[in-house]
Chains A and B, each alone.
Chain A
Amino acid sequence: MEKKTASPLRSLGVGLAALATLVIFAYGFEITQIDLQELQSEERQTSLVRVLRALAQPELIEYEQDEQAITSPVYVGCPDDGGVPEAPDTAEASGTYLVINPLCAEPLEAVQVEGFGFFPHSRGPVRFVPGSDPANTVQLGRDVALTDAEGHFVVSIVLPNRPSDEPQFIRATMRRNVGAPRFTQTAKDTWDKIVETVFLALLATTLGTALAIPVSFMAARNLMKGVRSPLASIALSALGWPAGMAAGVLVTGLIGRFSASLATNPLANIAGLVIAPAAVWGLTRWAMPAEETRRPGRGLRYARGAGLLAAVLLGFFTILQLAELTSTISLAIRPALGPFGFLAGFLFQVSDILRISTPVAGALASGGVVGGALGRVGQRLAERGSVTAVKPINVLLSAVAGATILFLAGWAVEWLYEIGRPEYTIWAPLGAGAGLGALLALLTPAKATLPIGLVLYTITRTILNTLRSVEALVMAIVFVIAVGIGPFAGVMALGLHTIVSLAKLYSEQVESILPGPLEAITATGANRLQTIIYAVVPQIVPPYISYTMYRWDINVRMSTIIGFVGGGGIGFLLLQNINLLNYRAASAQMIAIAVVVGAMDYLSSVMREKYV
Chain B
Amino acid sequence: MLKIENLTKIYEPGGVLALDNVSFEVPDGQFLAVIGLSGSGKSTLLRCINRLIEPTSGHIYLDGEDITSLNPEQMRRVQRRIGMVFQHFNLVSRSSVLTNVLAGRLGYVNPAWSLMNRFPKEDMEKARRQLERVGISDKAMQRADALSGGQQQRVGIARALMQDPTLILADEPVASLDPVLAHSIMKYLEDINEKDGVTVLCSLHFLDIVHRYADRVIALNEGRVVFEGLPSEIDDKKFKDIYGRDAERVG
* Interface of chain B residues 60 through 93 with chain A (CB within 8 A): 71, 76-82, 84, 86, 88-93
Please, which residues of chain A bring their CB within 8 A of the CB of B154?
none
B90 and A517 form a contact (CB under 8 A): yes
User: Which among A290, A383, A521, A527 is the interface contact of B103 at CB below 8 angstroms?
Assistant: A521
> CB of A83 within 8 A of chain B?
no
Q: How far is the CB of B89 from chain A (nearest CB, A)?
A: 8
Q: Which of A290, A291, A529, A541 contacts B94 (CB 8 A)?
A: A541
Known: A529-B111, A530-B114. A538 touches B120 (CB 8 A): no
Within 8 A of B (CB), among A31-54: none
Check A524 for interface membership: any CB of B closer than 8 A: yes
Q: Do residues A527 and B92 form an inter-chain contact, with CB atoms below 8 A?
A: no
Chain A residues with Cβ below 8 Å from B120 are: 290-291
Q: A292 at interface (Cβ–Cβ under 8 A)? A: yes
Q: Is A526 an interface residue (CB 8 A)?
A: yes
Q: Is the CB of B94 within 8 A of A534?
A: no
- Report whether A383 and B106 are in contact in the complex, using a CB–CB cutoff of 8 Å: no
Quick check: is A134 within 8 A (CB to CB) of the other chain? no
Q: Decide if A520 touches B106 in the complex (CB within 8 Å).
A: no
- B84 to chain A: which residues have CB within 8 Å? 520, 523-524
Give chain A interface residues in 412-458, CB to chain B under 8 Å.
none
Known: A516-B86, A520-B91. Contact between A525 and B107, CB under 8 A?
A: yes
Contacts of A521 in B (CB 8 A): 92, 103, 106
Choose among B82, B95, B107 the residue that contacts A526 (Cβ–Cβ < 8 A): B107
Name the B residues within 8 Å of A539 (CB-CB): 92-94
- Residues B110 and A291 in contact, CB atoms below 8 Å apart: yes
Is A205 engaged at the interface, CB distance under 8 Å to the other chain?
no
Q: Contact at B112–A526, with CB atoms within 8 Å?
A: no
- Asked if residues B86 and A525 are in contact (CB atoms below 8 Å), the reply is no
B111 & A530 in contact (Cβ 8 Å cutoff): yes
**Which A residues between 491 and 547 are near B, CB-CB below 8 angstroms?**
516-517, 519-527, 529-530, 533-535, 538-539, 541-542
Do A534 and B110 touch across chains, with their CB atoms under 8 A apart?
no
Residues of B within 8 Å of A383, CB to CB, are 71
Residues of A in contact, count (CB < 8 Å):
29
B36 interfacial by beta-carbon distance below 8 Å? no
Residues of B contacting A538 with CB < 8 Å?
92-95
Question: Is B106 within 8 A of A523, CB to CB?
Answer: no
* Size range of the chain B interface in the assembly: 35 or more
Question: In the complex, what residues of B have CB within 8 A of residue A529's CB?
Answer: 111, 115
Chain B contacts for A519, CB-based, 8 A: 52, 86, 90
Smallest beta-carbon distance A579→chain B, Å: 52
State whether A524 and B92 are in contact (beta carbons under 8 Å apart), knowing that A290-B109, A290-B120, A291-B108 are contacts in the complex.
Answer: no
Is the CB of B59 closer than 8 A to any CB of chain A? no
Indicate if B199 sits at the interface (CB-CB under 8 A): no
Bound together, the chains give a CA A437 to CA B20 distance in angstroms of 38
**Is B42 among interface residues, defined by CB-CB distance under 8 A?**
no
In chain B, what residue has the closest Cβ to A383? B71
Residues of A within 8 A of B123 (CB): 291
155-182 of chain B: CB within 8 A of chain A: 156, 159, 162-163
Instruction: Say which residue of B79, B88, B89, B115 sits within 8 Å of A523 (CB atoms).
Output: B79
A112 to B78 CA separation, bound complex (whole angstroms): 105
A279-322 CB mask vs B (1 if < 8 Å, else 0) is: 00000000011111101000000000000000000000000000
Asked whether A222 is an interface residue with its Cβ less than 8 Å from the other chain, the reply is no
Q: How far is the CA of A146 from the CA of B215 in the complex (A)?
A: 105
Given contacts A291-B105, A291-B109, contact A523 B82 (CB under 8 A): yes
A288 touches B107 (CB 8 A): no
Contact partner, B90, options A288, A292, A516, Cβ 8 Å: A516
Question: How far is B99's CA from A533's CA once the two chains are assembled, in angstroms?
Answer: 12
Residues of A within 8 A of B99 (CB): 534
- A525 and B79 contact, CB distance less than 8 A: yes
A291 contacts across to B, CB distance below 8 A: 105, 108-110, 120, 122-123
B41 part of interface (Cβ distance < 8 Å): no
Q: Measured between alpha carbons, how far is A243 from B57 in the docked complex, in Å?
A: 39
**Chain A at the B interface: SS class:** helix
Q: How far is the CB of B183 from chain A (nearest CB, A)?
A: 23
Cβ-defined contact, B71 with A524, below 8 A: no
Asked if A525 meets B163 with Cβ closer than 8 Å, knowing A288-B112, A291-B105, A533-B115, the reply is: yes
Check if A560 is an interface residue, CB within 8 A of chain B. Answer: no
Does chain B have a CB within 8 A of A168?
no
* B50 interfacial by beta-carbon distance below 8 Å: yes
The reply to whether the CB of B104 lies closer than 8 angstroms to some CB of chain A is yes
Whether B94 contacts A524 by the Cβ 8 Å rule is no
Q: How far is the CA of A530 from the CA of B108 in the complex (A)?
A: 12
Are B52 and A522 in touch, CB under 8 angstroms? yes
CB-defined contacts of B115 to chain A, threshold 8 Å: 529-530, 533
Chain A's nearest CB lies how many Å from the CB of B41?
Answer: 17
* Min CB–CB distance A301 → chain B (angstroms): 13
On whether the beta carbons of A530 and B106 are closer than 8 Å, the reply is yes
A residues in contact with B162, CB < 8 Å: 524
Q: Is A379 an interface residue (CB 8 A)?
A: yes
Whether A525 contacts B76 by the Cβ 8 Å rule is yes
Shortest CB distance A407–B (Å): 31
**From B50, which residue of chain A is reached at the shortest CB distance?**
A523
Residues of A within 8 A of B112 (CB): 288
Chain B 23-41 interface 0/1 with A at a Cβ cutoff of 8 Å (1 = within)? 0000000000000000000
Establish whether residues A517 and B80, one from each chain, have CB atoms under 8 Å apart when the complex forms.
no
- Which residues, 97 to 138 on B, are CB-close (under 8 Å) to A? 99, 103-115, 118-120, 122-123
Q: Which residues of B contact A534 (CB under 8 A)?
A: 92, 95, 99, 103, 106, 114
Partner of A379, one of B71, B81, B108: B71
Chain A residue with Cβ nearest B156: A520
Give min CB distance, A570 to chain B, whole Å: 39
Question: For B105, what are the chain A residues with a Cβ–Cβ distance below 8 Å?
Answer: 291, 524
Q: A384 — nearest CB in chain B belongs to which residue?
A: B71
| A535–B112 alpha-carbon span in the complex (Å) | 16
B-chain residues with CB within 8 Å of residue A292 when the two chains form the complex: 108, 110
Complex-state Cα separation, A527 to B77, whole angstroms: 10
Contacts of B81 in A (CB 8 A): 525
- Separation of A208 and B109 alpha carbons in the complex (Å): 32
Within the assembled complex, what's the spacing in Å between the Cα atoms of A525 and B110?
12
Chain B residues with Cβ below 8 Å from A527 are 76, 106, 111
Q: Which residues of A contact B71 (CB under 8 A)?
A: 379, 383
Min Cβ gap A224→B in Å is 15
Q: When the two chains form the complex, which single residue of B92, B104, B119 contacts A535, counting CB atoms closer than 8 Å?
A: B92
> Known contacts A290-B109, A517-B92, A519-B90; can you find 8 more A-B pairs with CB under 8 A?
A517-B90, A520-B86, A522-B52, A522-B79, A523-B52, A524-B106, A534-B114, A538-B94
7 cross-chain CB contacts under 8 A: A288-B113, A295-B77, A524-B79, A524-B162, A525-B76, A525-B108, A529-B111
Give A residues with C-beta under 8 Å from B. Answer: 288-293, 295, 379, 383, 516-517, 519-527, 529-530, 533-535, 538-539, 541-542
The 4 A-B pairs at the shortest CB distance, nearest first, are namely: A525-B107, A525-B80, A526-B106, A516-B90
- Which B residues fall within an 8 A CB radius of A? 50, 52, 71, 76-82, 84, 86, 88-95, 99, 103-115, 118-120, 122-123, 156, 159, 162-163
